[in-house]
Structure formats: structure tokens, C-alpha cells
């Protein structure tokens, strides 16, 4: 009785070890000279300041929130478009809240919560045409934007000397040293 179980266990271990060999075949080759991958997009401290700006074109739309007579439309990695929605049949784009590098937001009780690199922001939007940063908690998201979200790609290793990573662009890289 023990022999069939022992044979089955041995066979299972062999199969597992064979499938794990496939993982080694896909390991990155860091001797490549030129390859498609991701390059960090950097911003300075002043560029990540939360600002209320004039209306602008929507580039990469995300979530939509309704707050009183306003619509808030996320523009991924850039900020939030503010629309006057008094007339829901004809909303008017009236402003833009700059939140450089933000991937996601949530709204509750006139407070907009947003990620920005490794930080969590709380922004008072009781007047969406003139927002105020209520608080910034640093280091909430330990990995922030230090890696591209996509996996299975080479990327240029971030350099803190160049600023804060607020996004990633797909491009041709020369001799990259990082892979995810």
C-alpha cells in the first residue's frame, strides 16, 4: 500500500521540478543592449504641489464622482477635472485639480483621498474650484511608483536624484539594469 503512494509522491515531485525549470528560461538577460521597457517620469517637489488650475483637455480618464452640483473626473497620473453639473444635460468643465502622479482617488464627506508616489493625501474639496490640502501622510505606500505596474518588462531603475517618480512611459531602453 505504501509503495503506490511513494511512487505517486515521487512522480509529483519530478513534475513540479520540471515545471519550475520553465521559470528559469524566462529570467531576464541583463546583457541586452537595446530593449523595449519602461522609463520613469519624474517630478520635482514643486511639480507635485496640489493646485487648482483652469480647465484643460482630458487625456486619460478614470473614475467619476458626483459631489453636490459638481462632477469630478479623474485624469490618471495628472489630477481631477471639475465640472459644474447644475445642468446634468450639459456639464461645464470649469477647472482642474493638479495631483501629479495619482493613480487612484476616493471621496467622502467633501474630502478627496488620493495617492501620490508613496504619500496619502486628504484634500478638502468643499469648494472644488479652490481646493486645500488638508493633510499629507508620507510613506503610506512603501513601493509607490518605484516599479512600473506592468510585469514581465525591463525598466530603467529609478534615480532619486532626478526627483519623485510619478509615472512610467514605454520606450526603448539602452542596457537596462532592472526587470519586473
| Of 113, 96, 114, 98, the residue nearest 47 (C-alpha) | 98
State whether CATH 2.40.10 applies to domain 46-137. Answer: yes
pTM of the model: 0.71
Q: Where are the domains of the chain?
A: 46-137
pLDDT tens column, 116-165 = 888 899 999 998 888 999 999 988 887 767 888 888 899 999 998 898 88
Q: Looking at the predicted structure, is the pLDDT value of residue 82 above 80?
A: yes
Q: Report the pLDDT averaged over residues 99-112.
A: 89
pLDDT tens column, 35-71 = 999 999 998 877 889 999 999 999 999 999 998 899 9
Amino acid at each position: 500500500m505504501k509503495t503506490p503512494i511513494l511512487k505517486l509522491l515521487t512522480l509529483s515531485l519530478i513534475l513540479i521540478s520540471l515545471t519550475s525549470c520553465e521559470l528559469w528560461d524566462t529570467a531576464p538577460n541583463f546583457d541586452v543592449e537595446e530593449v523595449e521597457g519602461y522609463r520613469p517620469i519624474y517630478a520635482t517637489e514643486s511639480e507635485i504641489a496640489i493646485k487648482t488650475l483652469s480647465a484643460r483637455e482630458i487625456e486619460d480618464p478614470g473614475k467619476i464622482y458626483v459631489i453636490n452640483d459638481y462632477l469630478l473626473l479623474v485624469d490618471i497620473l495628472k489630477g481631477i477635472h471639475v465640472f459644474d453639473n447644475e445642468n446634468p444635460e450639459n456639464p461645464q468643465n470649469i477647472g482642474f485639480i493638479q495631483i501629479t502622479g495619482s493613480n487612484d482617488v476616493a471621496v467622502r464627506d467633501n474630502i478627496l483621498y488620493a495617492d501620490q508616489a508613496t504619500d496619502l493625501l486628504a484634500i478638502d474639496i468643499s469648494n472644488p474650484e479652490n481646493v486645500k490640502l488638508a493633510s499629507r501622510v508620507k510613506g503610506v505606500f512603501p513601493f509607490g511608483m518605484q516599479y512600473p505596474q506592468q510585469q514581465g518588462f525591463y525598466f530603467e531603475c529609478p534615480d532619486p536624484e532626478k526627483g519623485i517618480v510619478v509615472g512610467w512611459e514605454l520606450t526603448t531602453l539602452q542596457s537596462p539594469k532592472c526587470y519586473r
